[in-house]
């Protein structure tokens, strides 16, 4: 396994955060190193998930750290969302210090592959479902701010501009 490294988190307005990530077509040492870095970087206090583009890599991969379970998935795609919604404050490592109410599905199911190219399914409710949706959004070049209700989004953008 490659040496793991804690990677710097890219923050808004870095353009990599608005870039749709590329599918992983070959699992090589670079991808194995990326996964090692994602796992190392997400395994810190207060971190629930981390997409590859948040550490400057334009590939479809993310890691999570929910309820003492740390894992990853390559080429994730959301295959099921519940009609039942959850509402709660959401934040993002790439938008530090800002938390806003963001509606998400209560349950989410993601399919992808692991480092052996084997199919994996990651699913969950509550925080795990929120994480899966949030990280898949990142890989599509979206931030949680894009999902905010209009009035809340206006407030968020004002606060964000004041910080930049």
Question: Quick check: is 9 in a domain?
Answer: no
Bridge partners, residue 86, by sequence: 104
Distance CA 63, CA 135 (A): 8
Can you give the pLDDT at residue 61?
98
What is the span of the domain harbouring residue 102?
15-162
Total number of domains in the chain: 1
Can you give the pLDDT at residue 3?
55
Bridge partners, residue 108, by sequence: 81, 124
- For the segment 77-96, the average pLDDT, to the nearest whole number, is 96
21 is in an annotated binding site: no
4 confidence band (pLDDT: 50, 70, 90): low
Question: Quick check: is 35 in a domain?
Answer: yes
Q: Does the pLDDT of residue 1 top 70, yes or no?
A: no
Q: What does the buried/exposed string (b/e) look like for 121-154 if buried means 16 or more CB atoms within 10 Å of the residue's CB?
A: ebebeebbbbbbbbbbbbbbbebbbebbeeeeee
**Which CATH number covers residue 43?**
3.90.45.10
136 is in an annotated binding site: no
Distance CA 1, CA 11 (A): 28
138 is in an annotated binding site: yes
Q: Does the pLDDT of residue 92 top 80, yes or no?
A: yes
- For the segment 99-112, the average pLDDT, to the nearest whole number, is 97
The closest of 69, 114, 120, 62 to 92, measured between CA atoms, is 62
Can you give the pLDDT at residue 5?
73
Question: Quick check: is 20 in a domain?
Answer: yes
CA-based max dimension of the chain: 47
Instruction: Specify the 3-state DSSP secondary structure of 161.
Output: helix
Question: Quick check: is 4 in a domain?
Answer: no
**Model pTM score:** 0.94
Question: Quick check: is 10 in a domain?
Answer: no
Question: Quick check: is 3 in a domain?
Answer: no
Residues assigned a catalytic role? 135
Counting every residue, how long is the chain?
164
Distance CA 17, CA 142 (A): 7
């Amino acid at each position: 396994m490659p040496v793991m490294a804690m990677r710097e988190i890219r923050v808004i307005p870095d353009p990599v955060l608005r870039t749709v990530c590329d599918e992983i077509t070959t699992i090589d040492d670079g991808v194995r190193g990326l996964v090692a870095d994602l796992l190392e970087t997400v395994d810190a206090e207060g971190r629930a998930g981390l997409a590859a583009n948040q550490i400057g890599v334009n590939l479809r991969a993310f890691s999570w750290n929910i309820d003492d379970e740390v894992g990853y998935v390559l080429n994730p795609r959301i295959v099921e969302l519940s009609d039942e919604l959850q509402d709660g404050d959401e934040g993002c490592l790439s938008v530090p210090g800002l938390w806003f109410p963001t509606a998400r599905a209560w349950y989410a199911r993601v399919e992808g592959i692991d480092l052996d190219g084997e199919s994996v399914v990651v699913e969950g409710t509550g925080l795990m479902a929120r994480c899966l949706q949030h990280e898949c959004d990142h890989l599509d070049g979206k931030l949680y701010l894009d999902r905010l209700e209009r009035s809340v989004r206006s407030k968020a953008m004002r606060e964000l501009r004041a910080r930049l």
